[in-house]
Amino acid sequence: MELLYETLAAELSESIARGVLRPGDRLPSVRLLARQRKVSVATVLQAYLRLENEGLIEVRPQSGHYVRPRRALELAEPRTSRRAHTPAKVQVSTGVAALVASMRDPSVVPLGSALLSPDLLPTGALNRMLAGIAREMSSAGATYESGPGLLTLRRQLARRSVTWGMSLGADDFVTTNGAVEALHLALRAVARPGDAIAVESPTYFGVLQLIEELGLKAVEVPTHPRTGVDLEELEQVIRTTASLKAVLVMPTVSNPLGTVMSDEAKQQLVRLVAKYDLDLIEDDAYGELVFDSPRPRPARAWDREGRVLFCGSISKTLAPGYRVGWIAPGRHQERIEQLKFAFTVASPTLPQMAVAEFLASGGYDRHLRRLRATLRGQVDRVREAIADSFPAGTRVTAPAGGFVLWVELPQGADALELQSRALARGIAIAPGQIFSARGRFAHCLRLSCGFPWSARIEAAITTVGELATVQLSRRRTA
């Protein structure tokens, strides 16, 4: 059950997001609000403290609580990526290796990989459920859960799919080892080595790695940071690329841009793949993290022909280490089940059981509401710090959800060099080049906002801004 102060904080944060309460506005005094809402002063204080921690409001001594001014509003958004219509062989693995290595070192400030702080996840509750299941059922988890995966989990996914705006049945899902296995199976089912896959530009490096390892080619389609993949350009790509087999996109919170495509655009996208007899691989890994509720429908909701292979996981909301994900493969169901059996036989049973129980327990939506509000606050804080300390002319996304920012530095910056200079100062960042099959976006980087705001994070962002400024001025004078 949501606590009173949480409800109040959520309402106020909604008013700030909608612009009803504007930057610089004074909030009602604690006593007045307590009287108006018929709650205790302590409840209002707790709600204000939550908003303060989320970076939405600030206390001015002897004056009261105010909506924080937003310097970040002055930052322009990145430009739409350019076209490169021919399929490219992908080579991102080397660049990704440095990022993965930095993940292992706890002394490094984690602005590089899209990981959430364990403090934001209900790990304790989930682990207790797992332990309880293991204790009570001596044989639990000891047998293969082959075929499409654990039925109780698939039932829960089917129930959730109603809230996602598409009523799927338990039999429509196959459970996987995270979203990455779902994407792997999907690519295997629809394409053979040498075939091409259309992707957003920039796109998540893990997708590019899969394409690279499977001997496929990527065609990068221009993508707008707010509206998503350019559908006219996509149609052009489809018409001119004979080897194209599928389109792989993230219509509801993309990584790294944080884009949510409109319902109309999703519908048009589904129509487009049907028109050219292609498949659509929909990566919904961040779909539950849209800041504004209710979460928009996935593209799959408009699919009547089973062409959309819908992939998701709990990695960005509950526990990446549980490796619980899923795919609703549509017309490729049988093939995906065959592939899943051939590669891994089954996913581990116990984590599936624990996740099924967590979803059934009813606490998931409350957790998601809290997580979204926290992430929105963290993202805002990082944007503001970028506005304060990055070189003039820097552009940055204003994501509609998730917890990563795409930063476009002035031309001339070299993100790979910046990555190694930042790492030497104990800070991980993700260089733009690994988000492109062709090593584009050398002047861009992705910053993760998955950890609670702190002086350490603030100092790290200031340092990256200073390193970028020094790099640019050195290059200008060279």
Q: How far is the CB of 282 from ligand PLP (least distance, A)?
A: 11
Q: How far is the CB of 337 from ligand PLP (least distance, A)?
A: 19
- Pick one of 13, 175, 315, 347: the residue that binds ligand PLP (CB under 6 A): 315
Q: How far apart are CA 243 and CA 235, in angstroms?
A: 14
The residue (of 12 and 371) whose beta carbon lies closer to ligand PLP is: 371
Q: How far apart are CA 185 and CA 328, in angstroms?
A: 11
H or E, element range at 200: strand 196-201
- Pick one of 57, 114, 197, 437: the residue that binds ligand PLP (CB under 6 A): 114
- Touching ligand PLP, residues 385-414 (CB under 6 A): none
Return the sign of the alpha-carbon dihedral for residues 408, 410, 412, 414: negative
Dig out the tokens for 424 from the structure: 């030497």
Q: Which alpha helices (DSSP H) does 241-304 contain, by range?
A: 263-275
Return the sign of the alpha-carbon dihedral for residues 426, 429, 433, 437: positive
Q: Which residue number places its CB atom closest to ligand PLP?
A: 178
Peptide bond into 202 cis (omega under 30): yes
Q: How far is the CB of 261 from ligand PLP (least distance, A)?
A: 14
The residue (of 315 and 333) whose beta carbon lies closer to ligand PLP is: 315
Number of residues that bind ligand PLP (CB under 6 A): 14
By CB neighbour count within 10 A (0-12 exposed, 13-18 middle, 19+ buried), where does 91 fall? Answer: middle
The residue (of 181 and 279) whose beta carbon lies closer to ligand PLP is: 181
Q: How far is the CB of 313 from ligand PLP (least distance, A)?
A: 3
Q: At what angle do helices 151-163 and 349-361 cross, to 10 degrees?
A: 40
Q: How far is the CB of 256 from ligand PLP (least distance, A)?
A: 8
Q: Is 255 in the site for ligand PLP (CB under 6 A)?
A: yes
Stretch that binds ligand PLP, among 11-19, 177-185, 266-274, 446-454 (CB under 6 A): 177-185
The residue (of 322 and 390) whose beta carbon lies closer to ligand PLP is: 322
C-beta contacts of 459-462 below 8 A and 24+ residues apart: 460/109, 460/111, 460/426, 460/427, 461/111, 461/382, 461/385, 461/386, 461/389, 462/385, 462/388, 462/389
Q: Is 200 in the site for ligand PLP (CB under 6 A)?
A: no
Q: How far is the CB of 448 from ligand PLP (least distance, A)?
A: 10
Beta bridge partners of 408: 395, 444
Q: How far is the CB of 433 from ligand PLP (least distance, A)?
A: 17
Q: Is 187 in the site for ligand PLP (CB under 6 A)?
A: no
Q: What is the DSSP letter of 253?
A: S
- Pick one of 55, 148, 202, 206: the residue that binds ligand PLP (CB under 6 A): 206
Q: How far is the CB of 284 from ligand PLP (least distance, A)?
A: 9
Q: What is the DSSP letter of 302?
A: G
- Pick one of 116, 120, 170, 179: the residue that binds ligand PLP (CB under 6 A): 179
- Residues 404-427 as b/e (b if ≥16 CB within 10 A, e otherwise) read bbbbbbbeebbbbebbebbbeeeb
- Pick one of 48, 164, 204, 310: the residue that binds ligand PLP (CB under 6 A): 204
Stretch that binds ligand PLP, among 71-79, 176-184, 361-369, 389-397 (CB under 6 A): 176-184
Q: How far apart are CA 246 and CA 361, in angstroms?
A: 37
- Pick one of 12, 250, 289, 405: the residue that binds ligand PLP (CB under 6 A): 250
Q: How far is the CB of 233 from ligand PLP (least distance, A)?
A: 21
Q: Answer yes or no: are the C-beta atoms of 286 and 401 closer than 8 Å.
A: yes
Tell me how many degrees the CA angle 98-103-104 measures, rounded to the nearest 5: 105
Q: Is 178 in the site for ligand PLP (CB under 6 A)?
A: yes
Binding stretches for ligand PLP (CB under 6 A): 114, 178-180, 204, 206, 250, 255, 283, 285, 313, 315, 320, 325
